[in-house]
Amino acid sequence: MIRSGSEQSDSPALLTVKVVPGSSRTQVAGKLGDMIKIKIAAPPEKGKANECLIDFLSETLGCRRHDIQLVRGQSQPVKQLQIAGLSLETIRQRLGLPNAD
């Protein structure tokens, strides 16, 4: 799920993802209900998968690492991230997701 953090247009977007660590490569695997499924090549140990997720999103979205903050799910497969500086539409487009209706 991608949604705005508040009613203000300049507020950070909230992104809910389901992470599958230990995959053969890091990639967006589509939607899973209200979440975005992301396969991560890094193993789920000592924060490696979280770091790989943030690196991947930073590169894919074209933003700086410090614009992405892991706010929930540090040790769980379902994570919520806050992304500053990008519109919801831009995030959807860069992740290759369909527009919200």
Tokens of 45: 């140990």
Question: What is the residue extent of each domain of the chain?
Answer: 2-94
Hey, what CATH topology would domain 2-94 get?
A: Conserved Hypothetical Protein Mth637; Chain: A; (3.30.1200)
pLDDT digits (tens, 9 = 90+) for 45-69: 999 999 999 999 999 999 999 999 9
Q: What is the pLDDT of residue 11?
A: 82
pLDDT < 70 stretches in the chain = 1-9, 100-101
Q: What is the pLDDT of residue 6?
A: 45
Q: List strand residue ranges (DSSP E) for 9-92, in order.
A: 13-20, 27-32, 35-39, 68-72, 78-83
